[in-house]
Amino acid sequence: MSNFEYIETRVEGNIGFIELNRPKVLNALNRGMISEILAAMDNFDRNDDVRAMILSGKGRCFAAGADIDEMAEAGSVDIELMNQFTDWDRIAWIKKPIIGAIHGFALGGAFELALCCDLLIASEDVEFGFPEVLLGVMPGAGGTVRLTKLAGKTKAMEWLFTGRRISASEALHFGIINKAVSKELLLEEAVRFANSIAVQPPLSIRFIKESVLKAIDASIYEGMQFERKNFSMLFSSQDQKEGMKAFIEKRKANFTGK
Ligand code: DAK
């Protein structure tokens, strides 16, 4: 379906696939690629056939970070005027679940992109990390925030101060990834996760995602108010009627997303 230069996309069953496709430079994320990823996610969000997305990289790794060649000579004003932050912010508005299938390296901006996913399946050889400090900068697309919220201050400081890579077992231990599998099984496992979401009523999934993301920022009270509104709203959906009726009639529910 895609006319993209830096990524490949396809829909199979109820899953939308996005593959980073600049393998010669380890899928270094240039501005064009980030904006294509967002365009593809937007397309999938509007496509009723798609119920979950899988984001992965072609070649040796997921991605080795932002394209250093593209930003090496940039000044602060250039960085601001590139408007790249706008594209990154748009990821937070994607409604459907995004599953990252991560292998090889996920460094810098690529780790930030992975941290924007809702679920992460990684290969056992994965190396996450924030090498920005080694380049005289620091993460700028949410890395210090999302990593700290997930793994806590102590480990975040360690990894961010040193640029040290994070292995699959460490990532698993600190709740950064859902599961580690062999490289050969990575996509299969991501598809299995995606399919287990795709069979659920889409509106429930949509509101669960929204509520969990809200909970990250909100107080318990505020989060619960938000959850309550979403919970009540689902009682206006056909899928709620169908789901509960199917239970009472002892049959499988047929969810339509309405
Ligand atoms: N950018 C450009 N090219 C890259 C690249 C990168 N990040 N990473 C690798 N490449 C290229 C290499 O230059 C090489 O190209 P050729 O020499 O073959 O032409 C090719 O990919 C293969 O890489 P290596 O020869 O280096 O492969 P190795 O296996 O020896 O090493 C490596 C793999 C991943 C350890 C190494 O390539 C590496 O250290 N790469 C750089 C990692 C890194 O520092 N990443 C950037 C972090 S900074 C922003 C948002 C986010 C960001 C910035 C702005 N805004 C919203 C404004 C994010 C910043 C970052 O990610």
pLDDT tens per residue, range 194-249 = 999 999 999 999 999 999 999 999 999 999 999 999 999 999 999 999 999 999 99
CA of 216 to the centre of ligand 1 (A): 30
| Nearest ligand 1 atom, CA 65 | 61
For a ligand 1 pocket test, name from 6, 24, 26 the mutation site with the most ligand atoms within 8 angstroms of its C-beta: 26
Question: Which residue's CA is the nearest one to ligand 1's atom 14?
Answer: 25
CA of 37 to the centre of ligand 1 (A): 18
d(C-alpha 90, C-alpha 38), whole Å: 7
The residue-averaged pLDDT of 19-43 equals 97
- φ, ψ of residue 19 to 5 degrees: the values are -120, 125
pLDDT at 1: 53
Q: pLDDT (tens digit, 9 = 90+) per residue, 139-185? A: 999 999 999 999 999 999 999 999 999 999 999 999 999 999 999 99
d(C-alpha 138, C-alpha 169), whole Å: 25
- Over 90: is that where the pLDDT of 83 sits? no
- Over 90: is that where the pLDDT of 253 sits? yes
For a ligand 1 pocket test, name from 25, 90, 138 the mutation site with the most ligand atoms within 8 angstroms of its C-beta: 25
| Nearest ligand 1 atom, CA 112 | 51
Tokens for 81, please give them: 């005027």
Listed range (54-58, 59-63, 89-93, 247-251) with the worst mean pLDDT: 89-93
Residue 131 contacts residue 163 (beta carbons within 8 Å): yes
| Nearest ligand 1 atom, CA 66 | 61
Q: What percent of the chain has pLDDT over 90?
A: 96
